[in-house]
Amino acid sequence: MTFSGESSRPESVSSRRMARRLLSGAGCATLTAYRYGGVCSQIALHALDSDGRVLVAARPLPDHPLASLDDDEIAEVRLDVTLEAAEPGLRITTATAHLLGALRWLGRAEAALVLAGGSAACHCPITGENPLVGLADLACAPGGRLGVIETERVMVHDAMGVSGHSIEQVLSLGEGTLALLWSSFDALSAHEEVSELGDAALDILCTAVGKGAVAGIVCSHRPAEGLCPSLWGRVLCVDVAPDAVTLMRLSRTCIDTLQVWLPDRMRRACEVAPYLRRLVQDALLADALGS
């Protein structure tokens, strides 16, 4: 099996990919105008444009400070993006991104130009879906506004730990080609298909990654203090992305988080589960042959 020449994958590359994915529209975003004391966060839709600006669309309430800003007026804001695993009955945070930047609401004419252009830094490889479409619907609704946040750096908390990246580093991924961002439906479908492989099959994958028989990495190994006994022996799918599948193996004593790397940054989400199934079959065959 060929892995695009990647016998190993630097952790910084994996986290930069996550940063780009989170800034490009994955997860749930909130805006906080932290210069205004006691202000609640504002939920927003977001995307990343090819110039490294974060585009946000929101409908702030009339009494919210962000609603009273004039076009082109600058407000210092914090943007927080949280991506959670699609695991029913459990709340697992897959990754978060955090940045401080300068928000500027766009006038109607400029907003229309931004939304009409093909400036999104990520796209859906199958449908060509542009993440700016959702922003346009909200920004054009009554009370809706479109803004841009300019920043220099983003902090990421993911399976690899905590890391910081410049916007230039985030944009440098996939240079010369459009970066992949699966639609929410495709990502959810892939997550369900991976989970349906079952705990036993996913446990085999985790063991193979630990042995180095399958391309991937053990991200963390920590004690399972306070873990509910009903979760002992489970292997949860935490995340499915074009470059890797993140699994969490739970036992009575420890919690292991691992990534199974995918070859050539898979374009189709529906290919992930069949690919993992083949890896499981190969691992079982190798054990049967004693190799």
DSSP track, 81-106: EEEE---TT---EEEEEEEEEEEEEP
d(CA 254, CA 166): 34
What are the C-alpha distances in Å from 183 to residues 92, 130, 134? 20, 10, 12
Residues 6+ apart with CB under 8 A from 77: 31, 32, 33, 34, 66, 100, 101, 102, 103, 149
pLDDT for the residue numbered 4? 35
d(CA 106, CA 71): 6
d(CA 121, CA 112): 18
pLDDT for the residue numbered 45? 94
d(CA 193, CA 153): 35
pLDDT for the residue numbered 114? 84
Q: Which pLDDT tens digits describe the chain residue by residue (291 residues)?
A: 333 334 456 667 889 989 999 998 889 999 998 887 666 789 999 998 888 899 999 999 888 888 888 888 899 999 999 999 988 778 899 999 999 999 999 998 888 888 877 666 666 555 556 778 889 899 989 999 999 999 999 999 999 999 999 999 998 865 445 567 788 888 899 999 999 999 999 999 999 999 999 999 999 998 888 788 888 989 999 999 988 999 999 998 999 999 999 987 678 899 999 999 999 999 999 888 876
d(CA 124, CA 145): 25
- pTM for this prediction: 0.87
pLDDT for the residue numbered 7? 41
**Rg (the chain; Cα; Å):** 21
Question: Residue 14 in 3-state DSSP?
Answer: helix
pLDDT for the residue numbered 176? 45
